[in-house]
């Protein structure tokens, strides 16, 4: 596999073409952003930590039968993935109330949500990722009814696998965001990344935040917390 030109640079990752039209290289950078790109900082080692964290989780999901774009870890900060046509709708599941839900509904943080909630948000920073629904997604052609059903089912399957994985390490999976895309075989695959940048993780006993809320709230020790979670799950960073 030969890495070719950069195709796209997002807020925390860059995407490179390869000599295979169906494969991309995902490059995890140290850039960390919040509030739709308003707050941006470089956090040393974060690219490496998230690349390895994502590889570990994607392999667990793959082993549980969830189709993901992840193919191989290439080096400290890069992974080989399937090229997907991304569906511009983010899927969010919440097991415990936090973040935008708390603001939007005026509820307390930390409430157990049973059953877990499922929300869709349009991926659009300029509009601050507005909440949408399946009707809007179909009418605007972002996804078909079949694709939406698949995305929802896969998002809940991920919850079953990861809630247990984290709980066994003494960590609560509070909420998370997933993105999906369509591969050349026409099927829906989990894309993007799963790392503490896109989920909320609390220590089970102390409820200490071990995710990107440390960055959003200026709590410090952001990458240290990500590594601590990884180590508790059995990851090795170097």
User: In the complex, what is the shortest distance from the CB of residue 200 to ligand UDP, in angstroms, rounded to a whole number?
Assistant: 4
SS3 61: helix
In degrees, rounded to 5, the angle at the alpha carbon of residue 12 between the alpha carbons of residues 35 and 71 is 135
Query: Around Cβ 91, how many Cβ atoms within 10 Å?
Result: 22
Does 180 contact ligand UDP by CB under 6 A? no
**Which stretch, 64-72, 80-88, 98-106, 220-228, contacts ligand UDP (CB under 6 A)?**
98-106
User: In the complex, what is the shortest distance from the CB of residue 184 to ligand UDP, in angstroms, rounded to a whole number?
Assistant: 26
Contact between residue 138 and residue 105 where contact means Cβ atoms under 8 Å apart: no
Query: Around Cβ 57, how many Cβ atoms within 10 Å?
Result: 24
User: In the complex, what is the shortest distance from the CB of residue 17 to ligand UDP, in angstroms, rounded to a whole number?
Assistant: 25
Output the six-digit token pair for 103. 């603001």
Q: Looking at 3, 11, 71, 99, which residue binds ligand UDP (CB under 6 A)?
A: 99
Does 177 contact ligand UDP by CB under 6 A? yes
Does 11 contact ligand UDP by CB under 6 A? no
Output the six-digit token pair for 125. 């920073």
Does 23 contact ligand UDP by CB under 6 A? no
**Alpha-carbon distance 88 to 148, whole Å?**
12
78 vs 193, which CB is nearer to ligand UDP?
193
User: In the complex, what is the shortest distance from the CB of residue 114 to ligand UDP, in angstroms, rounded to a whole number?
Assistant: 17
Of the candidates 229, 175, 226, 189, the one whose C-alpha atom is nearest the C-alpha of residue 30 is 226
Binding residues vs ligand UDP (CB under 6 A): 92, 98-101, 129, 175-177, 198-200, 212
């Amino acid at each position: 596999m030969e890495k070719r030109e950069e195709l796209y640079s997002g807020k925390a990752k860059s995407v490179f073409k390869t000599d295979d039209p169906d494969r991309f290289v995902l490059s995890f950078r140290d850039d960390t952003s919040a509030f739709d790109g308003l707050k941006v900082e470089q956090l040393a080692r974060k690219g490496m930590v998230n690349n390895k964290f994502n590889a570990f989780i994607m392999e667990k999901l793959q082993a549980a039968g969830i189709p993901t774009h992840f193919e191989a870890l290439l080096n400290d900060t890069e992974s080989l993935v399937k090229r997907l046509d991304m569906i511009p709708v983010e899927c969010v599941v919440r097991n415990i109330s936090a973040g935008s839900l708390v603001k939007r509904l005026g509820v307390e943080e930390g409430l157990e949500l049973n059953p877990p909630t499922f929300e869709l948000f349009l991926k659009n920073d300029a509009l601050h990722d507005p909440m949408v629904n399946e009707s809007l997604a179909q009418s605007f052609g972002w996804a078909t009814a079949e694709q939406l059903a698949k995305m929802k089912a896969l998002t809940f399957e991920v919850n079953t696998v990861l809630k247990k994985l984290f709980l066994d390490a003494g960590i609560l999976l509070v909420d998370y965001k997933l993105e999906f895309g369509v591969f050349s075989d026409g099927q829906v695959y989990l894309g993007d990344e799963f790392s503490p940048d896109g989920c909320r993780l609390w220590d089970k006993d102390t409820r200490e935040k071990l995710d990107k809320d440390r960055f959003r709230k200026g709590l410090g020790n952001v990458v240290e917390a990500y590594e601590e979670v990884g180590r508790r799950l059995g990851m090795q960073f170097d």
